[in-house]
Structure 1
Amino acid sequence: MFYSTERLNLRSYKESDLERILELWNELDVQQNTSTEHVVPRGPKFKDTVKGWLDQARFHSIIEVKATDEFVGFLTIRDENPKNRDGDLAITLTKSQWGKGYGSEILKFVVDYAFRGLALHRLSLGVFDNNNRATSLYKKVGFVEEGRIRKANWVDGEWRDVILMGILEDEWKAGLPK
């Protein structure tokens, strides 16, 4: 099963995708903006970690360009708190695909799907305070800052805050076309 947006396909992962995800995770800028762990090159064993993320997610997807099947990245929604219908969103795009509007396109789809298809009440995420592009994109799609974990991540010789953001089902509904 797969879904599509105007320019992108979203599909379940295959074992062969794990190599592309490993390459993505080994992009320095990507890893610095997504991981609270040490920023280091990851070897083949890291594919097992990625497989665990994807297998345990409520929803996961490989993102590809429709016209070319070119790899864009991947996303997951984990059941952070199933009783309260709270999903935790993580999206990672390869640097070569930044600035093409794919993040906006995919986020609009996944937020809609989280509420319509997965019946979530809220969708949450965390983003580092220096990742202005991502923070701006999340706000554009409807996420609001809910809090901050101060100086929570040491990267490249400095402390970074983690901004906690979320969007509620009623906020999403209010933003739908009338």
Structure 2
Amino acid sequence: MFETERLVLRPFVESDLDHLLRMWNQPEVRKGTSNDYLVPLSPTFKETLRGWVDKALLYVIITLKDSGEFVGNLTINMGSSKNRDGTLGITLLQEHWGKGYGEETLRTILDHCFKACALHRITLDVFAGNERAVNLYRKLGFVEEGRRREGVLIDGAWQDVIGMGVLDREWAELYWVKPASV
């Protein structure tokens, strides 16, 4: 379990499935995270969610420290253990957007993944129209590594899918290495 100033990042428990299903049924959440058709997901989708938990290197539920309220989830999957390449996914309930919870979670988890899990790189895909997420990833040190032009159809318009990544040494330079005082 991890704690930040305002959040608890804890392991998944079975009762989280209801919260996860509710989050994945929010249309705006799905538009920003999924390239599947936007249709209501039935309770059977909980089995898919459970499978995601089981396959992840790291899967945390994001909750508010003061109330325990569900905020979202974050997952790191191992693309290649030999290459120490983790793939990041983070999803928040829409009512928690714009409050800094994503940044707070990402700083904590990425720091842990580079230090304790010895990952070399962390990659992600983000839809170009999700400007808030793109800007956050850039702010944290992710760089654009590729772009699938018109890779996803959202609300009848094509959007690019941007591949981004950050390396362990880049993260260290940004967050661990302090310049020597003169």
Q: Which residue of structure 1 aligns with residue 150 of structure 2?
A: 151
Q: Which residue of structure 1 aligns with residue 137 of structure 2?
A: 138
CA deviation map 1:112-167 (0-9, x unaligned):
01101211000000000000000000111111111101111112111111100000
Question: What letter corresponds to residue 101 of structure 1 in structure 2?
Answer: G
Larger Rg: 2
**Are 1:84 and 1:121, in contact at CA under 8 Å, matched by a contact in 2?**
yes
Question: What letter corresponds to residue 19 of structure 2 in structure 1?
Answer: R
**Equivalent residues in 2 for 1:162-173, closer than 5 Å:** 162-173=161-172
**1:126 equivalenced with 2:134 (yes/no):** no
Distance 2:105 2:24 in 1: 19
Question: What letter corresponds to residue 18 of structure 2 in structure 1?
Answer: E
Q: Which residue of structure 1 aligns with residue 44 of structure 2?
A: 45
* SS in structure 1 at match of 2:36: coil
Q: Which residue of structure 1 aligns with residue 112 of structure 2?
A: 113
RMSD after superposition: 0.8
Distance 2:135 2:154 in 1: 21
Any unmatched runs of 5+ in structure 2?
Answer: none
Distance 1:138 1:109 in 2: 14
Question: What letter corresponds to residue 28 of structure 1 in structure 2?
Answer: P
Distance 2:54 2:7 in 1: 22
**Equivalent residues in 2 for 1:85-100, closer than 5 Å:** 85-100=84-99
Distance 1:89 1:121 in 2: 13
TM-score normalised by L of structure 1: 0.97
TM-score normalised by L of structure 2: 0.95
* SS in structure 2 at match of 1:84: coil
**Are 1:88 and 1:124, in contact at CA under 8 Å, matched by a contact in 2?**
yes
Distance 1:23 1:162 in 2: 25
**Count of equivalent residues:** 177
CA deviation map 1:45-101 (0-9, x unaligned):
101111111110000000000000011000100001111000000000001101111
What's the CA shift for 1:38?
1.0
Distance 1:16 1:138 in 2: 30
| Percent of aligned positions that are identical | 50
* SS in structure 1 at match of 2:82: helix
**Are 1:152 and 1:159, in contact at CA under 8 Å, matched by a contact in 2?**
yes
**Are 1:127 and 1:163, in contact at CA under 8 Å, matched by a contact in 2?**
yes
* SS in structure 1 at match of 2:46: helix
Question: What letter corresponds to residue 54 of structure 1 in structure 2?
Answer: V
**Equivalent residues in 2 for 1:1-40, closer than 5 Å:** 2-40=1-39
Question: What letter corresponds to residue 76 of structure 1 in structure 2?
Answer: T
**Are 1:39 and 1:155, in contact at CA under 8 Å, matched by a contact in 2?**
no
Question: Once superposed, which parts of structure 1, at least 4 consecutive aligned residues long, lie more than 4 Å away?
Answer: none
